[in-house]
Structure 1
Amino acid sequence: MTSRDPSVARSRGKASIYDVAALAGVSHQTVSRVINDRPHIRESTRVKVLAAMEEMQYSPSSAARALATNRSRRIGVLVDSPVQYGPSSTMRGLEEAARAAGYMVSASTVDDAPSLGLGEALAHLRGQDVDALCVIAPRYSTLLDVQVVSRELPTVLVKADPEDDVLTVAVDQYAGAVHAVDHLLELGHRRILHLAGPVDWADARVRARAYSERLAAEGLDVPRQIVGDWTSDFGYQVGADPTAIPADVTAVFASNDQMALGLIHGLFTRGILVPEHISVVGFDDLPDARHFLPPLTTVRQDFHALGALAMTSLLAALEEGSAPEYGMIEPELIVRDSTAAPRR
């Protein structure tokens, strides 16, 4: 220990990380590693540092941590389509995980015109000296500038399929779609229509591919997909249109819960009941999906866990210099009352 009197530091005001380091007889970098619970610290050293922190009543602030590590301890997050349930829920999960790890979050959003705002949003985040970047990028059109940024600082993409040379995390969209189709097949359905999401969305493309490949593997015809826009209004239009769904279709796999909701409503206006006349499966498991009439069978995505996985991957890249190239979370089929065996 040094001869520094901790009371001197306290008389100047709040003790600093350097005061703790001097009292413990270690470097301020060592104090930082103890604060951040890094591995490879001798237990005796850890005890000395913790005792010094207690004696000096030291509470590490984010500014002190930044000074000790030469980092801002700030994560930049670019969120595409923030009004959609998936991106907004993933963002909340990441924010919680970041706070738990002692990081702040700066967010920028891009909506219906990504080509006009993506570069500016990325520049805004980089201007805040973020340590790393998370891009919640469900649309391919949001990825135009991400490759360049990812070469300059740790970056993770939240995206349904891998991107070359960029760390990516996702819920396994392919497996989720297979769960949905298999459920309908097990009930006995053989003519299953897919109400797909927009083609620019990675999630929608992967789900549509899984649907087609699963039916083809069973030797079944693959009906022409109907491409929607994620909204319940679009689903309603399809359900209410007597020409939209072929007469021999006994089940519909909707690419999200909102389109499934509108579809059920539209079918009802024509006297077609779910699941008595046609079964419907959604995707996402919105908080309200259990209260649809009928309660919706759907594929649950754990967006909170997805956000946490994105933060964990960034921390691994920041603090250990490496991270898995592609992290996946398994979805879960939730069976409710909107599906049943075909009656025709």
Structure 2
Amino acid sequence: MDIGQQILFFFSAIGAFNGLFLSAYFAFFIKNKNRSTYFLAALLFVVSVRVTKSVFLIFYEGISTHFIQVGLSACMLIGPFLYLYVKEATSTVKQKSYQWLWHVVPVIIGMTLIGIYYPYKEHRYLWMRTQSGYLCWFLFGQWFTYVLLSFMMLKSELKKLIFKRVELTNKQVWLITINTGVFIIWLAYFTTNYTSYIVGALSFSFVLYLSILFWILKRRKSDLFFEEPQKYTSKKITASEAETIIAQLNIIMQKEELHKKPEIKLKQLAEKLNISSHFLSQLLNDNLGKSFSQYINTWRVETAKKLIQNNDQFTLEAIGFEAGFSSKSSFYSTFKKVTGTTPSSFKKQIS
């Protein structure tokens, strides 16, 4: 290779190498692993394998067709792992442990059978972007479909980004970045007939390092978006950021009436806002002067006051349960702590 080819090889291969390294890091070495980080590791791995295949196919003519087959098979898993990562990162409901297998196992079985009966070595025309390249078109179609499904799960975040009505959280920006990056890689490979086959590998290097740069810059401000925070942060939340999140919080509380659920937890409310539990706890303490339980109980007391004022059919005990309190004693003690009077006294005062 001449110097130009060597430089091109370096920049196209370095992304694939570091993608494999990061995949191993997220899968085995990150401190706070969860299913989301495993899906991210798997996504980086299959993209890196696909790109590595492209790099060696361009610069080494004697590359094994078996390696090419593996690279093409890995490509079929990019879309599913992207979708699973975004779904796991955005879902507020815990997914069943086996559901993700429906997106992965059939692909692995299908690609294994195709590799046996229609291997790249003997049926290369099926894998090429020509009129008879059915497997190639299916591969790109499947990949693109999963990218679209992932974008659909992020439609509310995209609306916020486009119309700038509400400031996005770090996690939301990260997910949009990942999804857009995978789409760029798909587009680069899909248009290689009009550009060059190496553009796909170069686009991965570009997207990967752009994402790493984003990660480093955001790391200075907050915990990683794919880790569970270890401890309470001492950094003061800015007034504008607090105002935005509190507005979102009030909308969610009014619309969904989460305080009426006795079992509501800090983590569940934080997930509704796409922020970490410790961030929400700090927000409530620093900006409202309340703990999570105090904040929820304030909503419950206000609800109970409205029910007492507007409803003569329910007993005070029933009103307490309707407002979200788990027992009569907690209702009476909390109501008095917040209002300075008991529910029965409050009822007499307004009668």
Assess same fold via TM > 0.5: no
Greater share of residues in strand: 1
Greater share of residues in helix: 2
Pick the TM interval, shorter chain.
Answer: under 0.3
TM-score by length of 1: 0.26
